[in-house]
Structure 1
Amino acid sequence: MVTIGDFEFPEDRMYSDNHLWIFQEGSSVTVGVDPMGFAIAGDISMIRVKKVGKSMKKGRAFGTMESGKGVISLKSPFNGTITEVNPVVQDKQFDSIKENPYETWLIKAELSDTSELDGLMKTVAEISKWAKEELSQL
């Protein structure tokens, strides 16, 4: 576990620079928002994601997260297809997601190419450096 300030980042996941965590199992991934991302966003009023079966394009939004601070695009760090949307998202139980960010994911997807995950932060050094920089901007 990497701890920066009040934020924890489990080492069994990869992280994108836009505060998504990715847990990989073969060519399948589970995607959620890390706690620092929720802190930056503030009080969440809405989370919308694409439906099951929809494609995800690397660098393009697969959903949005809305708060009093505005609308944040959830940009995919890979190409793939959404295979499952968490019912908590569909039921608009946003506090549950924010309270348990690593247990409460947004979507599951099938990757087009697992090598696309190579650019994500995986090591303690990478995660620590990035999280410290992000924390300094809060």
Structure 2
Amino acid sequence: MAELRGCRFPQDLRYDPANHLWFAAEADGVWRVGVTPFGVAIAGEILLFTSKPGGRSLAAGRAFGLLEAGKTVFPVKTPVEAALIEGNDALSRSAALMNTDAYAAWLVRLRIAPGDADKHLLCWDEARAGIAAQMDLWRFDDLRSFQAPLLGEGAKGLRG
């Protein structure tokens, strides 16, 4: 398990630093997707996640759902072309688990072509520099001391 500025990053996952997402491989090109602890920290307290309906094709950069944190709603986007298999319906009632364990609560399951996954989803060693750069943008020194920005101060990586 890698750690960066107080955030855990399992080395068996893939990452999308720009969108603060983690990807866990399942079978047949299907990936469970969630928000990294750093993404949760900059969003503030996450309340709910609402997925788009399963069965949709998504172009890279398109939202697969909405994340509600306080009075702000953020689109959550796929970095690659994907088919949305399903959303985690439990998070539409409460996503509080994400605030205490970002890896225990997945958002959606996506089917991604193997070539696209290999090209766009980064292993920890490849993602580390991009995640550190995002942390620098947010002046994020440590998970324990970070204060999420107030509404209007910008949500650089989570706003569409």
TM-score in same-fold range (> 0.5): yes
- Name the TM-score, length of structure 1 as normaliser: 0.86
C-alpha deviation, 1:69, in angstroms: 6.5
* Residues 31-60 of structure 1 deviation map (CA, whole Å, 9 limit, x = unaligned): 111110010000223322111212222111
C-alpha deviation, 1:81, in angstroms: 1.9
Task: Name the count of aligned residue pairs.
Answer: 135
Is residue 23 from structure 1 mapped to residue 20 from structure 2 by the alignment?
A: no
* Residues 84-106 of structure 1 deviation map (CA, whole Å, 9 limit, x = unaligned): 2223213x221112222112111
User: In the alignment, which residue of structure 2 is the partner of 1:129?
Assistant: 129
SS in 2 for 1:131: helix
> Are residues 7 and 123 of structure 1, via their aligned partners in 2, closer, same or farther at CA, if it must alter by over 3 Å?
closer
Residue segments in structure 1 that go unaligned for 5+ positions in a row: none
Runs of 4+ that moved beyond 3 A = none
User: In the alignment, which residue of structure 1 is the partner of 2:96?
Assistant: 95
CA contact (8 A) 2:97 2:104 kept: no
User: In the alignment, which residue of structure 2 is the partner of 1:7?
Assistant: 7
Question: What CA distance in whole angstroms lies between the structure 1 residues aligned with 2:9 and 2:30?
Answer: 20
Question: What CA distance in whole angstroms lies between the structure 1 residues aligned with 2:82 and 2:96?
Answer: 27
1:1-138 mapped onto 2 (5 Å cutoff): 1-16=1-16, 17-25=18-26, 26-68=28-70, 70-90=72-92, 92-111=93-112, 113-117=113-117, 118-124=119-125, 126-136=126-136, 137=138, 138=140
Among all aligned residue pairs of Structure 1 and Structure 2, give the percentage whose two residues are the same amino acid: 30
CA contact (8 A) 2:9 2:124 kept: no
Whichever structure has more strand as a proportion of its residues is 1
RMSD, aligned α-carbons: 1.8
Question: What CA distance in whole angstroms lies between the structure 1 residues aligned with 2:23 and 2:13?
Answer: 6
Question: What CA distance in whole angstroms lies between the structure 2 residues aligned with 1:13 and 1:120?
Answer: 9
